[in-house]
Amino acid sequence: MATSRTFSDPEVLARIAGLSLRARHVVEGTISGLHRSPFHGFNVEFAEYREYSPGDDLRRLDWRVLGRTDRFYVKQYEEESNLRATLVLDCSASMRYGGVGRPLTKFAYAATAAASLATLLVEQQDPVGLALFDKETREILPPAATQAQLARIVGLLEQAQPNRETQLGAVLQSLSEQTRQRGLTIILSDLLTDLDAFYDGLRRLQYRGHEIIVLHILDPDELDLPFNDLVMFRDIEGNEELLAEPWAFRKTYQAAMRQFLSDVSGACGDRGIDYLQMLTSDSLADALSHYLHARERLKHLHHKGQR
Structural domains for the chain: 4-39+82-295 (3.40.50.410), 46-78 (no CATH)
Instruction: Give residue 7's pLDDT.
Output: 43
Amino acid (1-letter code) at residue 212: I
Mean pLDDT, to the nearest integer, of 101-106? 89
Q: How far is the C-alpha of 74 from the C-alpha of 177, rounded, in Å?
A: 35
Least Cα distance to 74 among 66, 85, 82, 86 occurs for: 66
CB count within 10 Å of CB 168 equals: 25
pLDDT of 43 over the 80 cut: no
Report the distance separating Cα 9 and Cα 285, nearest Å.
Answer: 8
> According to the model, what pLDDT value does residue 100 have?
80
Whole-angstrom CA distances from 55 to 11, 34, 61, 301, 304 are 30, 8, 12, 20, 21
Q: Which residue has the higher pLDDT, 68 or 98?
A: 98
Whether the CB-CB separation of 289 and 31 falls below 8 Å is answered with: yes
pLDDT band for 293, please (50, 70, 90 cuts): confident
Dist. CA 131–CA 75, nearest whole Å? 31
Mean of all residue pLDDT scores within the chain: 81
Please say if the pLDDT value at position 263 is more than 50. yes
User: According to the model, what pLDDT value does residue 1 have?
Assistant: 36
